Amino acid sequence: MNSDILHFVRDLKSKISDPYVAWVEPFGESEKSSVKLMGIGVFSENKLNLFLKDDEALGFMILKGVPKFGAYNLDIPEFDKITGTIDKSNVSTKIDLKNKKNYLNLNVDIRTFSSGEKKQLDAYFDENLKEIIEEKFSQMVKESCYIAIKKCVAIKSDTFNVGRLLKKSDTNFFKSIENNWKNEFCNFEFVVSAKVKASIIGKEAL
């Protein structure tokens, strides 16, 4: 996670990328308790200009490849609530310079469990339910990541390092737009796709 002070200062001083900070708090009373993601502070123009919370903050961290700080909640009629905690995420990026598009492909592993007095997920799952769960969680991941991106773009914050990737892939082209990168960055279209693989806590993978 980009909480390292050297990385933060590097991005703060950069004319290409921008830093962020994650607000996390301990969750639980034991020494081995996990942490809960409370929000993300996003910088642009050397100032804190955006605060993301809830699903959009989790989407941001999925895009960063550091998602183990929260969970998505899903409502399916026969269950009270299905919770999906994220084990890992993998993000691949492809930039289409000609059409100014940035394609982000997400592969996410989620552990699921149900709560409440209705059916318990680990006792009633089947292949059809697996497909429903994965499809619905995939849509939630896609939407939360896309919202996080759009809000960052709106304040001209390249916290996802698109400029750095572009500079590496086509140095000559990037030099021609480097001085105006933040405005050029806002003209890029972000296309997000997400595929979730679900498993049940205490059971073999669905």
pLDDT surpassing 70 at residue 173: yes
Q: What is the pLDDT of residue 113?
A: 74
pLDDT surpassing 50 at residue 206: no
Question: Over the stretch 184-204, which tens digit does the pLDDT of each residue have?
Answer: 889 889 999 999 998 876 444
Average pLDDT over residues 49-58: 94
- Between CA 18 and CA 152 the distance in angstroms is 10
* Length in residues, the chain: 206
Question: Over the stretch 99-132, which tens digit does the pLDDT of each residue have?
Answer: 888 898 989 988 887 765 555 565 456 667 778 8
Average pLDDT over residues 14-28: 84
Q: What is the pLDDT of residue 79?
A: 67
Question: Cβ of 152: how many Cβ atoms within 10 Å?
Answer: 26
Question: Over the stretch 8-19, which tens digit does the pLDDT of each residue have?
Answer: 888 878 888 899
pLDDT surpassing 90 at residue 158: yes
Q: What is the pLDDT of residue 83?
A: 83
pLDDT surpassing 90 at residue 66: no
- The pair of structure tokens assigned to 72 is 């998505």
Q: By the 8 A CB rule, do 65 and 57 touch?
A: no
Beta strands 47-52 and 34-44 are antiparallel
- The pair of structure tokens assigned to 18 is 């921008």
Q: By the 8 A CB rule, do 196 and 85 touch?
A: no
Q: Region of 6 please: left (phi>0), alpha (psi -120 to 50) or beta.
A: alpha
Confidence of residue 155 (pLDDT cuts 50, 70, 90): very high
- Between CA 161 and CA 44 the distance in angstroms is 13
Confidence of residue 1 (pLDDT cuts 50, 70, 90): very low
> Is the pTM value of this prediction over 0.85?
no
Q: What is the pLDDT of residue 191?
A: 93
Q: By the 8 A CB rule, do 163 and 169 touch?
A: no
Start-to-end C-alpha separation, the chain: 30
Q: Which of 14, 70, 24, 23 is nearest to 51 (CA)?
A: 23
